[in-house]
Structure 1
Amino acid sequence: MKRLNICIDIDATLTEPYYWLDICNEYFNKNIKPYEITQYSIYKVMGVSREEYFDFYNKYKLKIHTEEKVRKDGKAIVNRISKYNNIFFVTAREKSLELFTEAYLTLNKVNFDGLYVLGSHHKVDKARELNCDIFIEDNPNNAIELSEASFKVLLMDTYYNREIKENEFIKRVYNWNQIYDFIEEMKFNQKVI
């Protein structure tokens, strides 16, 4: 019986979506609330230039990624589905964070079969290479690109991806328990284990 190849984004998918907001607000002297983050480009939400945001990110990226919390039930569900499926974390984080990211997953005791730190938001080629059956993602542009390449996407709900409509390839999910239920249903319908 076939194991599913499940690709999972990390930031705001495995982890809480607004983990960076307090640090960012303090740095830029803002008071942005999570519900105000209605677009993926953080620098636009903050009202700063792209360069100013990347200066901030480069200064605080290790702190941000160290302190981010795994979403409720994320670890438990990933570890549960990893018993019968292949788990591949596919992240757009810059390549210099690869060892750091692996250490974060290991420290948080999240099971996985592979980690791919792409340094790019374009994930279709890696999904093809991994023969991905389901891609769990939060980035609206990634969800569209993956769905246009005929990959099934579970779009983890955030304020900044609400304009994305469900279709044949994109299903909106609100928590990890829904993800688990979807995977179980998919396996049952495809008669895979």
Structure 2
Amino acid sequence: MKQVKEKRFGIDIDGTVTCPTSLVPFINDAFSLNITLQDITKYDLSEALNIPLDQMRAWFDETEPAIYASSPPADGAEYILSKWQQQFHLLFISARRKHLFEITETWFKEQKILYDHLELIGSHNKVAAAKRNGVDIFFEDKHDNAVMIAEELHIPVVLFNTPYNQDSIPDNVIRVDNWYEADAWVHQWIKTNEIGPITRP
């Protein structure tokens, strides 16, 4: 199975490996709101919640470490990623800033999620990092990132469905609802070596 083991998966962290609801309790507490994930229909929290950008940015800078330290994994992430680690190279590429590396590394250890590479690039433009690492498939929750990576690198991107990423997508961006569906699509893609509709469990 040498060919399978050589596959290199680029994987976003927040809202992809971590549950996209992770920051909702923090938002509700800080801004005296009572929202759910369904209320966040835009990736830009300031725009989605009608909170001034400077206020939202200051809050996020202050709260970011606590959010990352306490984020629960997304449904199925631990199980599927542990299974994949035996078969594929797992390269986690995140827009988190580099000073958050220790918190990020500790979270992965606590969740017992192994990886071959962990990179915090401090930017949402992940094309260069994905290209440099020779990624075969990318896993993402941010719509713009998914489209950019798919179109510029000509690789499939698995986009995890959230209320904030519902804009249209090109053919090589594949929507899934959870890690179990991502796993089903991956194995179909490897078997057929082409992008096809996901077979939902």
TM-score w.r.t. length of structure 2: 0.90
CA distance in 1, matches of 2:166, 2:115: 29
CA distance in 1, matches of 2:36, 2:192: 41
1:141 and 2:144 are equivalent in the alignment: yes
SS of equivalent to 2:164: helix
Per the TM alignment, residue 157 of structure 1 is displaced from its structure 2 partner at its CA by 0.4
Q: What is the identity, as a one-letter code, of the residue corresponding to 2:67?
A: I
1:187 and 2:182 are equivalent in the alignment: no
Do the aligned partners of 2:93 and 2:126 also contact (CA within 8 Å) in 1? yes
1:92 and 2:95 are equivalent in the alignment: yes
1:170 and 2:173 are equivalent in the alignment: yes
Q: CA RMSD in A?
A: 1.4
**Match in the other structure for 1:70:** 73
Instruction: In structure 2, list runs of 5 or more residues that go unmatched.
Output: 194-201
Per the TM alignment, residue 29 of structure 1 is displaced from its structure 2 partner at its CA by 1.7
1:161 to 158, 162, 165: 165
**Match in the other structure for 1:26:** 29
Task: Give CA-to-partner distance per residue, 1:56-112, whole Å, 9 cap, x none.
Answer: 112211211111100121011001011011000010011110121111111110011
User: Which of structures 1 and 2 has the larger relative contact order (alpha carbons within 8 angstroms, sep 6+)?
Assistant: 1
Would you say how many aligned residue pairs link Structure 1 and Structure 2?
Answer: 190
Per the TM alignment, residue 136 of structure 1 is displaced from its structure 2 partner at its CA by 0.4
**Match in the other structure for 1:152:** 156
1:7 and 2:14 are equivalent in the alignment: no
Q: Is 61-70 or 134-143 further displaced after alignment? A: 61-70
Q: Detail structure 1 runs of 4+ shifted over 4 Å in the superposition.
A: none
SS of equivalent to 1:172: strand
CA distance in 1, matches of 2:56, 2:189: 40
**Match in the other structure for 1:120:** 123
CA distance in 1, matches of 2:184, 2:90: 16
Task: Give CA-to-partner distance per residue, 1:139-190, whole Å, 9 cap, x none.
Answer: 011011111111210000000011233x331000111111111111122224
